[in-house]
Amino acid sequence: MITSATQPPEAPPPEVARRAVSRSQHAGRRHLEMEVSGASLDDVLTLQVAFVNRHDDAFALVGELGAEDFLLVESDGGLASPRTFDPSLQRLSSDGTLAPGEARRGAVVFAPPSGRTFELRFADFAPLSLVLDQPVDRAAPAPSKTSPAAGSPAELSPGVGTPRVATPRVATPGVGTPRVGTPGVATPSAHGDLRSAMQDLLDRQAEALERYDLAAYLETFAPSLHPQEQRYFSNIRSLPLVAVTLRLGDIETPRRDDRPLQTTAELRYGLDGQPFDNPFVHDLRLTWRRRGAGWRLAGIEVLRDRPVPWRVEALSVHRSHHFLLATEGQGGDRLVDLAADVEAAYASLYRQGLPLAAGYFVHLVTDRQLFARLAGRPSALGVALARQSIEAGRVVVDSRGFYVNGSVFADRRGDSTRDDLRRITVTHELVHLALAEDSRPFTPIWLKEGAAVYFSGDLTYDGNRAFVQRGLNGIDLARLTKAPVLGQHDLGGQGTADEYVYAGNLVSYLVDLRGQREFLDFYASFARLPPNELATIALGETVLSGPGSEPRVSLVGKLAARLGSRQLERHYALEVQQLEADLAAWLRLKFR
């Protein structure tokens, strides 16, 4: 809260009882904390702002961000940029690095807000919801120096009733002006800006999700969908959603006026306890119907296969130390069992020194067909998925999640062999999540799967001995380096299993050769390749290979082969053929 008072010249600066803080959701700035530690309200609103390094190491400030990027968003949608600000905040990157705990401080001045509530937004930092402890009366005379309000302290805290934060949204035309029409209905502006009106409705829906506001949420839908959406909304209370945004995509022009209008949209949100750099992203198709002069949503379709967790008839959620687990239906007891498995996997990988995040999301999928689409194999126990995109010239890896086959997991009790297989599979998929930020589509498949086999403990003496006795002649490392998956042409299953064992032993051999640290650096080297260099190599592969050569090998496969050979030479001074021969000799010596 901020006390509205005119501060007499001789009074000391206002002090704050509490501070409001926010963290960046950008991977490169996630250790930087934005702090508002004080405020005063006179004929202007002055906020005392600091950017603090909360990491154990020095933090290099980069980019062009500065106080001109602050935005004050009022409850009626009004927007205000700073009037003035201290030079110390003009450009955050101007003075190099911040030492651990060091802060860059300064004042930012705005015109006084018209209402009691407003948000302070800055770039990719989570907005701060702030509340005045009394209304602002711009027409009222300023209090005299003897007024009881004069000199009262300015107290600042996050807004009451909004303990969670939202992702900054891009201001669009029409957003931020007083809204006309029925609340929740997308109404074209005076200029007929349909896109702006639709985005306005999506913003309202995102805010309703964050604030658990059922009435505001339902107002964005056609009445026929209210019963269904009310059931979905009841699941939201179980999920710790933060930073929800809905961004309008392409608008489809209907061929007939009576045909529903369809658009695409991107849903993005975070889950409390998950890393800041791991928002979850879903592509949607929205159906819109007219309501008077405006629009309401008449349908939501999730494109592709990754499910939106709360859009099910019922949802059970369980939180363990490092995991947030969810499933459809009344499966809470199964989540408790699953939590024990994934926590044991986490402990195992932590002891091995893998780069684990502080938390992970696990979804126990009970729909057999949905899981088959997610994993590509209906009998698999689990699959780890992540989404990669390019933002500002760098690869961003988000939507990192772990999906478990509920139809198989339901039969877990009473079979020790199945229990062992389940624990290994859970650990295998968690390895993929741990290495997701260092993985790329062109990282050779034997390297990705081999790391998961090796670190999950899936290699045994008896299994390796049987594998060697079956013979190594049927496995070609050059072919595996180009392949999109292991077991690509195997119908019986034994060949797939052998390729996984082979890949795991490749990693075991490389670790034995130079140690685990060198191996992990080799693994991450594919992700460190600059985009411009990758583009040059890709162009070369396209031109040299030609459209008619090797039709079964994709460009990604060709890149994997080219880069796999190059990185092996750089890190281990080995060619692919030599590694294949050395591994065969090593295996026969150990497991003959």
Domains contained in the chain, CATH given: 20-131 (2.60.40), 194-302 (3.10.450.50), 319-438 (3.40.390), 440-592 (no CATH)
Model confidence band, residue 141 (pLDDT cutoffs 50, 70, 90): very low
Sheet holding 360-365, edge to edge: 315-319, 323-328, 360-365, 394-405, 382-391
Model confidence band, residue 181 (pLDDT cutoffs 50, 70, 90): very low
Q: Which two tokens stand for residue 114?
A: 């018209």
Report the C-alpha gap between 325 and 362 in whole angstroms: 5
Percentage of the chain modeled with pLDDT above 90: 36
CA 576 vs. chain centroid, Å, equals: 36
CA 266 vs. chain centroid, Å, equals: 13
Q: What is the pTM of this model?
A: 0.66
DSSP 146-187: TSTTTTPPP---BPTT--S--------TTTTSPP-SSTT-B-
Report the C-alpha gap between 200 and 339 in whole angstroms: 40
Q: CA separation (Å) from 528 to 168, 348, 439?
A: 29, 27, 10
For 357-397, the pLDDT digits (tens) are 989 999 999 888 888 888 877 778 889 999 888 776 678 88
Q: Which residue has the higher pLDDT, 75 or 455?
A: 455
Q: CA separation (Å) from 456 to 194, 423, 429, 488?
A: 52, 9, 9, 22
Model confidence band, residue 111 (pLDDT cutoffs 50, 70, 90): confident
287 pLDDT above the threshold of 90: yes
How high is the pLDDT of residue 159? 31
How high is the pLDDT of residue 148? 31
Helix (H, G, I), strand (E, B) or coil at 291: strand
Contact 149, 5 (CB under 8 A): yes
For 213-249, the pLDDT digits (tens) are 999 999 999 999 999 999 999 898 889 898 999 999 9
274 pLDDT above the threshold of 90: no
When pLDDT is averaged across residues 103-121 and rounded to a whole number, the result is 85
- How many H helices and E strands in the chain? 15, 20
Percentage of the chain modeled with pLDDT above 70: 76
How high is the pLDDT of residue 217? 95
151 pLDDT above the threshold of 60: no
Report the C-alpha gap between 31 and 59 in whole angstroms: 8
How high is the pLDDT of residue 26? 63
Report the C-alpha gap between 250 and 264 in whole angstroms: 5
How high is the pLDDT of residue 254? 62
Report the C-alpha gap between 78 and 74 in whole angstroms: 5
446 pLDDT above the threshold of 60: yes
For 255-266, the pLDDT digits (tens) are 555 677 899 999
413 pLDDT above the threshold of 90: no
Annotate 40-68 with three-state secondary structure. EECCCEEEEEEEEECCCCCEECCCCCCHH
Model confidence band, residue 519 (pLDDT cutoffs 50, 70, 90): very high
How high is the pLDDT of residue 2? 36
How high is the pLDDT of residue 169? 32
Q: CA separation (Å) from 381 to 4, 377, 403, 404?
A: 59, 9, 9, 6
Classify residue 112 by its DSSP letter: P
For 37-95, the pLDDT digits (tens) are 888 888 888 989 998 888 777 766 555 677 877 888 877 667 778 888 888 887 765 45
197 pLDDT above the threshold of 70: yes
Phi, psi at 479, each rounded to 5°: -70, -40
